[in-house]
Amino acid sequence: MMNLTDLADKYGSDKGSTKHRYTELYHMLFQPFVDRPITFMEMGLLIGGPEHGITADRETKDLPSIRMWLEYFTKAQIIGLDISDFSWFEHERFSFLRCDMDTRPNIEAATKDLSDLDIIIDDASHASHHQQNAFLTLFPKLRSGGLYIIEDLRWQPPPYEQSGITKTAALFQSYLQDRAFTHSDPSVGAEFDALRDQMSGCFVFQVRYQKQRRDQVLVVHKR
C-alpha cells in the first residue's frame, strides 16, 4: 500500500511533505481503518474561498485531498462538505454537501441525514466558532472508536473570526490541563463539558510536530 504522504504529494495536497506534514500522523492513526467500509468526512476541500476574501461561488477545478482519500481508503464512503460547490466531482464512493458553517442550524440542516461516521477532519475556514459549531454538531455522530480531527489551529481568518471568542486550541488545552472546558461564552463551555464522557483521548500536536511551535492539529478519540 502506498504511504499516505506519497499520495498527498501525488495529488498536490498540502497535507503532505510539501507543507503541513499531517499525513505523517494520519498514516499511523488511520491504519486500522484502511481496508474497512468506513464513512469518512472532510470539511474544507480546496484552499481559497471567503476566508481568503474569495467568493464562495468561486470556480473549483480540483479536489486533491478527496482524490487522496479515495485511493487510500479503498472501501470507504467519502463525504465532502464545503461552502463552495464541488458537486461536479463524481465518484461512486463520494458525496458532497454544501454548507456555510457560520451557524449550527446550517450545519445541522446539511448533515441531518448523516450518522455513524468513523473519521471527521475539519479543514474548513478555521474560524474558531465554525470549528466549535461543527464539533458540537458532529462529534456525537461519530461511532465509538472514531476520530475527530481539526487542522490549522494556529490560524484564524480575519473575515470570519469573532472578536473575543476563545480559540479552539485554547479551549482544548483547558480541557487537557483541567479536564473541563473554559470558554468566553460559559454556555458553549458547558456544551463541550457535556461531551467529556464521550472522549477517551485528546491530543494536540504543534506545527510540524515541533514542541516549541504553536498548536496546529487536534485529534479527539471517541470512547
Active site residues: 126
Q: What is the 3-state secondary structure (H, E, C) of 204-222?
A: EEEHHHCCCCCEEEEEEEE
- Looking at the DSSP bridge assignments, the partners of residue 215 are 206
- What is the residue type of 72? Y
What is the spatial distance between Cα 8 and Cα 194, in angstroms, rounded to a whole number? 36
- CA–CA dist 62, 33 (Å, integer): 25
Q: Please give the DSSP secondary-structure letter assigned to residue 49.
A: S
Tell me the three cell numbers of residue 177: 490541563
Reference 121, options 64, 16, 41; nearest CA is 41
How many residues can be counted in the chain? 223
65 touches 175 (CB < 8 A): no
Alpha-carbon span 177 to 29, nearest angstrom: 23
